[in-house]
Copies of this chain bind each other. A is one copy, B any other.
């Protein structure tokens, strides 16, 4: 065992896994490398659900060279039959000798069973190399497996004085083009984008990933308790859009049925979409990573319910001043000791703006 080499090859497997981030739903992103005599003889990453897993692609590439080789894989190989046969069997048959696994699979159908199977079949299993890095790649998958809800990141563009929009709701544009381009990257890595009806009715955004085909767009989910979204909104002319509502109070339903959007009725709680019921719906859709682009009302509700794992703030060098809207309408605190603790995990320049990434201390997935 050579630690330095192990890190090197696992890092390569992780880099491969990254290439399909956001496109493997409902599966996690996984990369695999097969090494023989310190040389890579096979590599693969899982591209899309239903197709070969990373290990299988790598084994096919390695062919007969797999015999006696080392396999580096970012996630525990599966031991159950899903859409494809179990990888653990194929690994054993390939003749691979040593297997290095970054993390166990949080999927209860696997969760250690893959490792057990490999060990029972005489392989040397080394677990935990670059585990933290591997977990970071699949926070969404881990969250869904552990908590039956996606990992939720909320993106909020603010001014230097923490304002998201003027009192009339107008917010175009607080942040720079560079920041808006950076947002595109996050959108493309997410299974779904969540927003509120208010954002649609005020800004009329498309919430598209520019470089992706109409088919590969993340699911766009719009919360609209009483179905008052404007039926001519741009986003409703697209595929992969669902409007989640509680009651149809204004007879908008027939008009909306003529749009491309799907409609999903869900329970209301205090006149708002029940966010816990929404989580069940998202879990049913097998959404791993949820990207929120919403206003202070929805963000405040998510925060109150601890449904905001990460906050990604783009801060622009402008001051907007009094009576403009803040990031969160809720919660309303009585004491400073009730303030909600985050940890800043990254901050950097994006053009003239600063991007601040912070994770909620209380329910961090890992």
Contacts and interface: CB of A to CB of B under 8 A. Distances in A.
Interface of A: 158-163, 166, 170-174, 296, 300, 303, 311, 313, 315, 317-324, 326-336, 339-344, 347, 349, 352, 354, 356, 358
A327 B341 CA distance: 20
A163 B158 CA distance: 12
A303 B321 contact: yes
Contacts of A162: 158, 161-163, 326-327
A158 B163 CA distance: 12
Contacts of A342: 160, 317-319
A321 B344 contact: no
A173 to B, nearest CB: 7
Given A336-B170, A336-B174, A343 B317 contact: yes
A347 B356 CA distance: 11
Nearest to A341: B318
Given A317-B358, A333-B320, A352-B344, A339 B159 contact: yes
A329 B324 CA distance: 10
A315 to B, nearest CB: 8
A365 B318 CA distance: 18
A295 to B, nearest CB: 12
Nearest to A158: B162
Contact of A347 (B158, B322, B330, B347): B347
Given A344-B352, A347-B354, A321 B331 contact: yes
A318 B339 contact: yes
A317 B161 CA distance: 15
A347 B350 CA distance: 13
Contact of A322 (B172, B319, B326, B343): B326
A171 B332 CA distance: 15
20 contacts: A160-B342, A160-B358, A161-B326, A161-B327, A161-B328, A166-B333, A170-B335, A170-B336, A172-B336, A174-B339, A303-B319, A311-B319, A315-B356, A317-B341, A318-B341, A319-B339, A321-B329, A321-B332, A343-B352, A347-B347
A37 to B, nearest CB: 44
A314 to B, nearest CB: 12
A248 B158 CA distance: 41
Nearest to A318: B339
A317 to B, nearest CB: 4
Given A159-B339, A160-B358, A172-B336, A322 B330 contact: yes
Contacts of A335: 166, 170
B333 A324 contact: yes
Given A162-B327, A166-B333, A339 B354 contact: no
